[in-house]
Chains A and B, each alone.
Chain A
Amino acid sequence: MTDRERTMSRAMVDAIAHEMRENEEVFVMGEDVADYEGIFDSTTGLREEFGYDRVMDVPISETAFIGAGVGAAQSGMRPIVELMFADFFGVAMDQIYNNMAKNTYMSGGNVSVPMTLMTAVGGTYNDAAQHSQTLYGTFAHLPGMKVVVPSTAYDAKGLMHNAIRDDDPVVYMFHKRLMGLGWMPAPDGPKTPVPEEDYTIPFGSADVKREGDDVTVVTLGLHVHRALEAAEELADEVDVEVIDLRTLVPLDTETILESVRKTGNLVVVDEDYQSFGVTGEITARVAEAALEDLEGVKRLAIPDVPIPYARPLENEVLPGTDDIVQTIRSLDPVRSLSP
């Protein structure tokens, strides 16, 4: 019953271990998940408890092992497959979007694929264009996969329990900067109290991480924390509400609309590429359903360039706290705060 503080990685692993204890059909496979315990600590301690049979290191063959995850899932098992960096999806995308995502539909609902594909996303440490992307939009764009992006330890655990129990394929995208890694310090925020027992967070329930009356900031992953920081910085000027999407598929449009109807101002912040992505989707949904309530809209995302290596360049394209502050200011929202 105790609410111990947990890093996001520990919270994820707690959920995986719990599900593995409860259900023999749950297993983990991926590169460096056994002895290394996950490059981003996503499988720490699992091999020790469950052995190599249930925590499997596999050859560098993403097409084979992600596809094998699909097959095992279709056979009724509940594989958790790790794709080390989301950026590597390219070598195995066919298994992901033509099999994992579509087999349920193409079988007329007669086949299910209860598989979790977990993968690390995000930049902020200068690892350049092939190792820093978030690609939220790519996965959410292709129908058939549920897409989860936690921002705190509490959410990470509840969402992981859900992901493993869900009868559909779930892509679970965790931001490296939030994991609580010794070698990549996390901002304040992702480490939260986490109940010891299992609990689920329903997919499609966005979380209002900060309430406010003047501007709605919709975001996810690392940028929840940056938006919260920006909101604090602006606390004397405007009252900012911060919505953490938590899942992209399904997307909780209601919570966003409710907030925008209250504030009249929308800022969408995303670490993915801008065009054809999350920011466009959210603003379109709001425009369709609440156009008359909207006074101002702005979006902030990677400006359609591959992520550059050098520090000044990466800082330029990644939305920082300052960028969020300025974007909110640029809407010039009418302040509801008493002077």
Chain B
Amino acid sequence: MYEWMVTARYYEERLQEEYLEGKQPAFDISAGPIPGELHLAAGHESSAAGVVSHLRDSDTVTAPHRPHHVAIAKGVDLDRMTAEIFGRETGLGKGKGGHMHLFDPDVNFACSGIIAQGVPPAVGAALAAKKRNTDDIAVAFLGEGAIDQGAFLESLNLAKVQDLPVVFVIEDNDWAISMPKERITDVQDGSRRGEGHDIPHERVGHDDAVEVFEAAREAIGRARDDNGPSILEVQVHRRMGHFMGDAEAYRPEEDKEAAQMRDSIERLEATMEDAGITADERDSIRTDAQERVDDAIAWAKDQPEPEPDAAYEDVFTNPPSGVTDAEPATDGGETQ
């Protein structure tokens, strides 16, 4: 768990550096090596680590718009994920998807940038596992803001009536962009949405990876043993703006500071210390992780960008007859 958590944190620190390149002094979202939106997950690591620890490659995970920490824990190819974020030809999606749309079928990982819309496909993966009589399961990650969506609420019901092996993991970071949780819901414990569907549910009230691990073991065990869906909510923290470039003018200083003070990585380090794991051992895990990340970023940046004509490929797996590759209009436009 520690390895994944420090990998994810360092990965995002490095991405942040790369993202800001070319965007200074005046922030221009379309400038620099990584344009578009970038949603980082610093402060969310414990939920990914605690949950995904119990999964195997054949289990399915769907992630939302803030996917990197979950992807890293699930074992998504770090090099190709990074190449995708840099928009390179060898990226997971050949540069077509970008950071909110990472797909790695080798480890059954997918995401969606539309709120809660990754949840029904997770239910579908669980349905497939059940129909095929495997003991694979599915896990859908989503934010506390996303649980108000119909897609989530409908999924709960479908998963329950079909008794599907799926775990819904809510990452509660208290904020949905600028909207604090208390202003958009009267139910502060989101896992209680399970009550209306008779679905077992639990909330881990702080981002202690070990506690998440224990709670997830139960929920995932239930799914694997054919005992239907569960909800697990984890209190995490948003250490940064909603997306890179978000100045968080709406967020009280105390809240920002509180998020910085509660660090799941430091918490886990203390636990490891108590368990007799030395600082040296931790440092070596950390150094290895950093090396892996640095290598992935260096490799990705060295990869070629896709040829413009590749834009016309992959619309269909099996292009219908009569549909030839579209002709490029001309030699391409420029970004303003």
Among A60, A303, A321, point to the contact of B176 (Cβ < 8 A): A60
Give the size of the chain B interface in residues (CB under 8 angstroms).
61
Would A317 and B96 be within 8 Å (CB), given that A185-B336, A309-B101, A310-B88 are in contact? no
Complex CA distance for A326 and B327, rounded to whole angstroms = 14
CB-CB < 8 A to B307: which residues of A?
312
Residue A108 is within 8 A (CB to CB) of chain B in the complex: no
Contact between A184 and B112, CB atoms less than 8 A apart: no
Chain A contact residues: over half helix, strand or loop, or mixed? Answer: loop
Contact between B150 and A63, CB atoms less than 8 A apart: yes
Contact with A along B82-125 (1 / 0, CB 8 A): 00100110010101111011000000000011111100000000
CB-CB < 8 A to A315: which residues of B?
308, 332-335
**Distance of A129 from chain B, by nearest CB (Å):** 7
Complex CA distance for A184 and B29, rounded to whole angstroms = 6
Complex CA distance for A62 and B295, rounded to whole angstroms = 42
CB-CB < 8 A to B115: which residues of A?
60, 88, 91
Residue B309 is within 8 A (CB to CB) of chain A in the complex: yes
Contact between A304 and B308, CB atoms less than 8 A apart: no
Complex CA distance for A27 and B328, rounded to whole angstroms = 45
CB-CB < 8 A to A63: which residues of B?
150
Would A309 and B148 be within 8 Å (CB), given that A35-B178, A35-B250 are in contact? no
CB-CB < 8 A to A127: which residues of B?
36-37, 98
Contact between A31 and B177, CB atoms less than 8 A apart: yes
Would A183 and B29 be within 8 Å (CB), given that A59-B184, A126-B87, A317-B311 are in contact? yes
Contact between B333 and A319, CB atoms less than 8 A apart: yes
Residue B35 is within 8 A (CB to CB) of chain A in the complex: yes
Contact between B326 and A312, CB atoms less than 8 A apart: no
CB-CB < 8 A to B96: which residues of A?
128-129, 306, 308-310, 313
CB-CB < 8 A to A57: which residues of B?
178-179, 183-184
Contact between A131 and B311, CB atoms less than 8 A apart: no
**Distance of B145 from chain A, by nearest CB (Å):** 5
Complex CA distance for A61 and B115, rounded to whole angstroms = 9
Residue of A nearest to B94 (CB): A310
Residue of B nearest to A330 (CB): B330
Contact with B along A121-136 (1 / 0, CB 8 A): 0001111111100000
Residue of B nearest to A125 (CB): B30
CB-CB < 8 A to B113: which residues of A?
128, 130-131
Among B26, B183, B333, point to the contact of A318 (Cβ < 8 A): B333
Residue A105 is within 8 A (CB to CB) of chain B in the complex: no
Complex CA distance for A125 and B306, rounded to whole angstroms = 17
Residue A311 is within 8 A (CB to CB) of chain B in the complex: yes
Residue A333 is within 8 A (CB to CB) of chain B in the complex: no
Contact between B332 and A88, CB atoms less than 8 A apart: no
Residue B151 is within 8 A (CB to CB) of chain A in the complex: yes
Residue A36 is within 8 A (CB to CB) of chain B in the complex: yes
**Distance of A321 from chain B, by nearest CB (Å):** 7
CB-CB < 8 A to B336: which residues of A?
124, 177, 185-187, 222
Contact between B29 and A125, CB atoms less than 8 A apart: yes
**Distance of A67 from chain B, by nearest CB (Å):** 11
Contact with B along A295-339 (1 / 0, CB 8 A): 000001001111011111111111111110011000000000000
Complex CA distance for A195 and B116, rounded to whole angstroms = 43
Interface residues of A in 168-201 (CB under 8 A from B): 177, 182-187
Complex CA distance for A187 and B30, rounded to whole angstroms = 13
Complex CA distance for A124 and B95, rounded to whole angstroms = 15
**By CB atoms of chain B within 10 A, which of A129, A311, A313, A318 has the most?**
A313
Contact with B along A31-65 (1 / 0, CB 8 A): 11011100100000000000000000111110110
Q: Which residues of A does B touch, CB under 8 Å?
A: 31-32, 34-36, 39, 57-61, 63-64, 87-88, 90-91, 124-131, 177, 182-187, 222, 226, 300, 303-306, 308-323, 326-327
**Can you list 26 A-B pairs with a CB-CB distance of less than 8 A?**
A59-B145, A88-B115, A91-B115, A91-B151, A124-B336, A125-B35, A126-B36, A128-B97, A128-B101, A130-B101, A131-B36, A183-B245, A184-B30, A186-B336, A305-B315, A306-B96, A309-B87, A310-B88, A311-B335, A312-B332, A313-B306, A315-B308, A315-B334, A316-B311, A319-B333, A320-B332
Q: Which 10 A-B pairs have the closest CB atoms?
A: A320-B333, A310-B87, A309-B98, A310-B95, A36-B178, A316-B308, A35-B250, A125-B30, A126-B35, A126-B36
Known pairs A126-B98, A308-B96; list 12 more (Cβ under 8 Å). A39-B177, A57-B184, A88-B114, A91-B115, A124-B336, A125-B30, A128-B101, A184-B30, A305-B315, A310-B88, A311-B305, A312-B307
